Structure 1
Amino acid sequence: MSAISPTAAGPRWWNASGVVRLRREGAVAPILAFAVFFIVYVIINPSLLTRFQLQTAANLVVPLALVALAQLVIVLVGGIDISIGAIMSLANVVFAVQLETMPVPVAILLSVGTGLACGLFNGLLVAYGGLPAIAVTLASAFIFGSLAREVLDAPGGGVTTEIYLATSGELLPYVPVSLVWLAVIAVLLWLLLQRTALGRHIYGVGSNMESVRAAGLNAKLTKLLAFGLAGVLTSFGAMMLASSTVTGDPRSGDPYLLSSIAAVALAGAVFTGGRGSIIGTILAACTLGLIGNLLFFAGVNSYWQYVISALIIVAVVGLPVVWRKVAFRVKGIRS
């Protein structure tokens, strides 16, 4: 995307700092929500700052953050992926099962290839078949979920301690390896979306399809590649989950469908496409993951955990809307 030019509304340093971009992408609310929640969490449970708890929390939120980024890519082109949890399950068991007989690099390639193939399958039907994304991915969720159970019908696989340490251990004291992998993938995704033609096309397809077509760009190919990219990101989340739990599970991705959608909503993305923040999505995923963790340690029933998480999402998403309406009315009264 093109750089934001300075305006009279703010000095050059304000724009250069990236705050304007964060506000435009709706990332300010999830960033503030994460900061507030993190402080509250540490006050209630100071053990989070210990090495073990920090590593455990990182391994909990990183798979969700990666799958949420995958959902974000689909949302940017104006779609939604209901099959993302099933893709995660399939890539998870492919990775775990292949580790029993194949070298680690081969297992990684097969898992990534699985995610890519699933994404391209959805993308072909949506972009070139003209079918609604929600209908296509709802149907493919049953297909991919069934395939996952064919590959592995019960938790298992060949994930080793060495793989766990390489993906979910500590790089340095208080530096979980999983956060390092998340940072690397997030930076690469940011570069792809912000510094390449494909990234500009993805934002363009979601924000103004007619302008993209008028410019002679291939909107269908862009959607196809977006679904493929989402599949790859989902496979990364699947492998991180398999590594942190030291097992493959054909139902491992089920809880991540609604959580990924919730994280994208909490991050301020527009579901009609064209607007979304990588950092906002990651922090929203971390907030959701830590909420569940905190409520679990507080002994709150799992059913109430979902209710409380939903209320927090509504509050964070709804407060800016209420604030704008109040500000508009106050402005109208004064004028």
Structure 2
Amino acid sequence: MTAISPPSTPRTPSATSASSAPPPPPRRRGWNSTGITRLRREGAIAPIAAFVVFFVVYVIINPELLTRFQLQTASNLVVPLALVALGQLVVVLVGGIDISIGAIMSLCNVVFATQLLTLPVPVAILLAVLVGLGCGLFNGFLVAYAGLPAIAVTLASAFIFGSLAREVLDRPGGGVTKEIYLATSGELLPFVPVALVWLAVIAVGLWLLLQRTALGRHIYGVGSNMESVRAAGINARLTKLLAFGLAGVLTSFGAMMLASSTVTGDPRSGDPYLLSSIAAVALAGAAFTGGRGSIIGTILAACTLGLIGNLLFFAGVNSYWQYVISALIIVAVVGLPVVWRKVAFRVKGIRS
């Protein structure tokens, strides 16, 4: 007798396809998934939404904002504040705060304006930038290497830098020319203010520095987790020093843009920008403990604050109310999370 072999199990198409089919291609993560997630993580969604809403309301109240003259005027108003706010943001990212940033702006402003009387424009620009860098490094050295609190150091240096500004120029003046005004505060093209172009160039450069270089990663790391940074062998002190220096450079850019748009140097020009820069950083959702902050959020928050003052002016309201609004923004941004945590804790206790 011949043995009958059992029938073989037929192969199913699914088994062969599962073993031989190539793996599915990796899912591409576009800007919608990475960009929005990053903006949400940096706290930039709220200031972007606030700017859009306020801009629409502003245009409804004052449609002339969209004219060439009003757009150029508004740009020259908000760009210096945006640049100084970016400087404040860099200090906040490492867990500090710069109370002297208004005085640094005043000093750079008068140095730039006065040096234009005797020196070529590039040399005057370089001197103003070096002054801002030197002021920032002075603060950074005392904070990073002497271990002093940033708020105490910058409060003391504010008096020093403010006094130096008055020594350089005791009253508004300087040698800012019409050509400098046109190159920094005029129009590149119709409806394209030059000030916005300069702001975009500086903002992109700062973004590349913070997002694409080791120094930028160290700045975020020092503010978010100091112990991990030290464990990784990163020089946290040097990072803080460079962050303060970078803030001084950004402030010098804002000071020169202000001097160019007003065609004069003023030893008290930076005084209004201290509270406004802190308010812009707070409105942008940055963490004052360090490690979180958005460049685009800070710029749009500064634009919102600047346009508030402009709107109050057209409404016939005293412009000093802008400072009240800035103070209320700081209190709200800092206080609301505390109130929210207390309310959530009480609700949780009642439910349990």
What is the TM-score of this pair, normalised by structure 2?
Answer: 0.87
Q: CA deviation at 1:300?
A: 1.1
Note the aligned Cα RMSD (angstroms). 2.4
1:18 is paired with a residue whose SS is helix
Q: Which of 86, 89, 95 is equivalent to 1:72? A: 89
Q: Which residue of 2 aligns with 1:31?
A: 48
Contact 1:126 1:132 in 2 (8 A): yes
Q: Which residue of 2 aligns with 1:274?
A: 291
Q: Flag structure 2 segments of 5+ consecutive residues without an equivalent.
A: 1-26
The alpha-carbon distance between structure 1 residues 171 and 244, as it changes in their structure 2 partners (threshold 3 A), is same
Q: Which residue of 2 aligns with 1:4?
A: none
Identical aligned pairs, as a percentage?
90
Contact 1:33 1:316 in 2 (8 A): no
- Distance (whole Å) between structure 2 residues aligned to residue 218 and residue 230 of structure 1: 19
The alpha-carbon distance between structure 1 residues 136 and 325, as it changes in their structure 2 partners (threshold 3 A), is closer
Say whether 1:176 aligns with 2:176: no
Listed as ranges, the matches of 1:2-41 within 5 Å are 12-13=29-30, 16-41=33-58
Q: Deviations over 1:301-323 (max 9, x none)?
A: 23433334444565677778878
- Distance (whole Å) between structure 1 residues aligned to residue 316 and residue 267 of structure 2: 28
Q: Which residue of 2 aligns with 1:6?
A: none
Q: Which of 70, 73, 77 is equivalent to 1:53? A: 70
Q: CA deviation at 1:16?
A: 3.8
- Distance (whole Å) between structure 2 residues aligned to residue 272 and residue 286 of structure 1: 24
- The count of corresponding residues between Structure 1 and Structure 2 is 326
The alpha-carbon distance between structure 1 residues 44 and 324, as it changes in their structure 2 partners (threshold 3 A), is farther
Q: CA deviation at 1:296?
A: 1.1
What is the TM-score of this pair, normalised by structure 1?
Answer: 0.91
1:302 is paired with a residue whose SS is coil
Contact 2:282 2:329 in 1 (8 A): no
Contact 1:266 1:317 in 2 (8 A): no
Contact 1:148 1:250 in 2 (8 A): yes
Q: Which residue of 2 aligns with 1:94?
A: 111
Q: Deviations over 1:212-233 (max 9, x none)?
A: 1000010000000001000000
Contact 1:202 1:226 in 2 (8 A): yes
Q: CA deviation at 1:261?
A: 0.3
Q: Which residue of 1 aligns with 2:101?
A: 84
Q: CA deviation at 1:31?
A: 0.3
The alpha-carbon distance between structure 1 residues 17 and 200, as it changes in their structure 2 partners (threshold 3 A), is closer
- Distance (whole Å) between structure 2 residues aligned to residue 88 and residue 306 of structure 1: 18
- Distance (whole Å) between structure 2 residues aligned to residue 320 and residue 101 of structure 1: 52
Task: Look up the equivalent residue of 1:161 and give its one-letter code.
Answer: K
Task: Look up the equivalent residue of 1:196 and give its one-letter code.
Answer: T
Contact 1:88 1:235 in 2 (8 A): yes
Q: CA deviation at 1:100?
A: 0.2
- Distance (whole Å) between structure 1 residues aligned to residue 351 and residue 32 of structure 2: 29
Q: Which residue of 1 aligns with 2:179?
A: 162
The list of structure 1 runs, each at least 4 consecutive aligned residues, that deviate by more than 2 angstroms after superposition, is 10-17, 301-335
Contact 2:102 2:271 in 1 (8 A): yes
- Distance (whole Å) between structure 2 residues aligned to residue 178 and residue 329 of structure 1: 49
The alpha-carbon distance between structure 1 residues 17 and 51, as it changes in their structure 2 partners (threshold 3 A), is farther
